[in-house]
Amino acid sequence: MTVIGTGYLGATHAACMAELGHEVLGVDVDEAKIASLRDGKVPFFEPGLSEVLERNLADESLSFSTAYEDAAAFAQVHFLAVGTPQKKGSFAADLTYVRQVITSLVPLLEGDHLIFGKSTVPVGTAAELQELADSLASPGASVEIAWNPEFLREGFAVKDTITPDRIVVGVREGSTAADVAQEVYATAIENGTPFLVTDLATSELVKVSANAFLATKISFINAVAEICENTGADVVQLADAIGHDDRIGRKFLGAGLGFGGGCLPKDIRAFMARAGELGTDQALTFLREVDSINMRRRDRVVQLAKEVCGGSVLGKRVTVLGAAFKPNSDDVRDSPALSVAGSLSLQGADVSVYDPEAMDNAR
């Protein structure tokens, strides 16, 4: 199989698929990234991934290339794992990289090929990409698009890939793509991982719906924290108490700075944007408040720092412990901690930032 895109998602998927016994070719147009991976160096921090990478490079089950021609010749099963960032000046997802994979790969394919999308995309993307692939395929070539969303947690990506809590595969009617996916994930399925087959639209919505739910849960407890702060109640004890209800659970009920990173913020915004395009924007208006509560937490922490410093941080020395958006990561995308650090600096504080893993990315 090939994995196209070797960023956080793609590099992890490629290495872990090789670990599960597959022959894998990772493909990326970024020459520096490919050179690093060939040398056994992961270009980001993820616990345990370096060992998996080195082990599978050594036994030659994993290799890397910058050429789509190599991908076309290497396998008939491909995983699309490129980024879908937020568009500048818009809430919508930018699908440029996703479309580039199809336009670069499909014309080179001969025979039957299956492309599993793993990137987080707006609902309807797989159907659009199928039309694009059909228009680009050479005579005699058959290219099918299926969707297999990822559910990785940064800091636990190796575990989440090798022993996922569920596998979702979206296929078109009459497809045999689910059978291929069962072969790919045979080890996990044999170990009891639920294997769910849906239509394409449902599989695309599963990922963004999961992220929207998690974001909502985080913003809920942070909204309650505002009430607790004004009444003297203890939000930690409150979260413990409601978390004992198994319909709610304790996870994601830690009040604090809110969420950040490269997934939750941009995914809920893209979800809202897509709902608007579909004429169902009213259905997701609550996510605007989820986003607003989340951003408000950063302002509140800056305000608390000013209160501790007597009303102003001008000339005060302040240390921010943490630069990544979460522990055990070097990912500083939309980092709440760096947002706070920047705001304090703009108000005249002498700010120092420390993070055990993310200092290079934070600078």
- My answer on whether 9 and 148 are in the same domain is yes
- State yes or no: is 16 an active-site residue: no
Residue finishing a domain among 198, 217, 241: 198
- My answer on whether 228 and 300 are in the same domain is yes
- My answer on whether 8 and 153 are in the same domain is yes
Q: What angle do CA 65, 96, 329 make, to 5 degrees?
A: 65
Distance of CA 127 to the CA centre of its chain: 21
**Which tens digits make up the pLDDT trace of 104-114?**
999 999 999 99
Residue 337 pLDDT class (50, 70, 90 cuts): very high
From 96, 151, 177, 152, select the one nearest 129 (Cα to Cα): 96
Q: Which two tokens stand for residue 267?
A: 């995914």
Q: How many domains does the chain have?
A: 2
Residue holding tokens 């809110």? Answer: 258
- My answer on whether 218 and 99 are in the same domain is no
% pLDDT > 90, the chain: 99
- My answer on whether 167 and 214 are in the same domain is no
**Which tens digits make up the pLDDT trace of 26-70?**
999 999 999 999 999 999 999 999 999 999 999 999 999 999 999
Q: How far apart are the C-alpha atoms of 281 and 176, rounded to whole Å? A: 34
Q: How far apart are the C-alpha atoms of 221 and 211, rounded to whole Å? A: 16
**Per-residue pLDDT, 301:** 96
Sign of CA dihedral 107, 110, 112, 117: negative
- My answer on whether 168 and 251 are in the same domain is no
**Which tens digits make up the pLDDT trace of 150-187?**
999 999 999 999 999 999 999 999 999 999 999 999 99
User: SS3 for the chain, per residue?
Assistant: CEEECCCHHHHHHHHHHHHCCCCEEEECCCHHHHHHHHCCCCCCCCCCHHHHHHHHHHCCCEEEECCHHHHHHHCCEEEECCCCCECCCCCCECCHHHHHHHHHHHHHCCCEEEEEECCCCCCCHHHHHHHHHHHHCCCCCEEEEEECCCCCCCCCHHHHHHCCCCEEEECCCCCCHHHHHHHHCHHHHHCCCCEEEECHHHHHHHHHHHHHHHHHHHHHHHHHHHHHHHHCCCHHHHHHHHHCCCCCCCCCCCCCCCCCCCCHHHHHHHHHHHHHHCCCHHHHCHHHHHHHHHHHHHHHHHHHHHHHCCCCCCCCEEEEECCCCCCCCCCCCCCHHHHHHHHHHHCCCEEEEECCCCHHHHC
- My answer on whether 326 and 303 are in the same domain is yes
- My answer on whether 286 and 191 are in the same domain is no
From 169, 125, 123, select the one nearest 101 (Cα to Cα): 125
320 neighbors 353 (Cβ within 8 angstroms): yes
The mean pLDDT value for 137-157 works out to 96
Residue 145 pLDDT class (50, 70, 90 cuts): very high
- My answer on whether 259 and 185 are in the same domain is no
The mean pLDDT value for 271-284 works out to 96
Domain encompassing residue 333: 207-362
- My answer on whether 40 and 97 are in the same domain is yes
**Which tens digits make up the pLDDT trace of 195-223?**
999 999 999 999 999 999 999 999 999 99
Exposure pattern of 163-188 as b/e (b: 16+ CB <10 Å)? Answer: ebeebbbbbeeebebbebbeebbeeb
Residue finishing a domain among 148, 173, 198: 198
Residue finishing a domain among 147, 168, 198: 198
User: SS3 for 286-301, per residue?
Assistant: HHHHHHHHHHHHHHHH
- My answer on whether 329 and 184 are in the same domain is no
- My answer on whether 251 and 154 are in the same domain is no
Amino acid of residue 164: P
**Which tens digits make up the pLDDT trace of 340-360?**
999 999 999 999 999 999 999
Catalytic, out of 16, 228, 263, 309: 263
Residue holding tokens 């924007």? Answer: 281
CATH of the domain at 289: 3.40.50.720
